[in-house]
Amino acid sequence: MNSPFVSSLPQVNASLNAASAVFLLIGYRFIRGGKILPHKICMLAAFVCSSVFLASYIYFHYQAGVIHFQGQGWIRPVYFSILITHTILAGVIVPLVLATLYRALTNQFDRHRRIARWTFPLWLYVSITGVVIYWLLYRVYAAPAVHAAAAAAVWESFIR
């Protein structure tokens, strides 16, 4: 990886995915309790987290290229099953989120509710599996160079 900044992006991206999942869950709880404004704030926060994630993810892979999964044995098909479903649904979720958000912001609440019933669980799945993929790819089964780059980035941030 080119720099400590670039090598820190996977952790930033996982944090953004985790924050998005938390905002989604809290926002869902708010709407179930009839609290519309807090729901709206949480959903917009989830949207911002996911949007920043997407920009950061694209930038990271433009700089770092493909990161190969190092796990062997039974974890390999598990990882790739998660990765494939995550990737497909990540492509599907973008237009769903945009349509759901548009319908809410234009006061088309009946149409918003109908699509949100699909958007919410898919978006939540994509956010959570994004964190799982990070954990498996960069923490549990990371290549030694990835561990060294991450450690160097953390060390450099302390000595500045």
Statement: residue 94 has pLDDT above 90 = yes
Residue type (1 letter), 157: S
- The pTM of this model reads 0.86
Confidence label for 3 from pLDDT (cuts 50, 70 and 90): confident
Sign of the CA dihedral running 114, 119, 122, 125? negative
Q: Are 34 and 155 in contact (CB under 8 A)?
A: no
pLDDT in tens, 123-158: 999 999 999 999 999 999 987 765 555 555 555 655
Q: What is the largest CA-CA distance in the chain?
A: 54
Single-letter residue type at 153: A
Task: Enumerate domains of the chain plus CATH numbers.
Answer: 4-159 (1.20.120.80)
Residue 44 DSSP SS3: helix
- Token pair belonging to 56: 């950061």
pLDDT score recorded for residue 154: 52
Enclosing H/E stretch for 144: helix 144-159
Over residues 19-58, the pLDDT tens digits come to 999 999 999 999 999 999 999 999 999 999 999 999 999 9
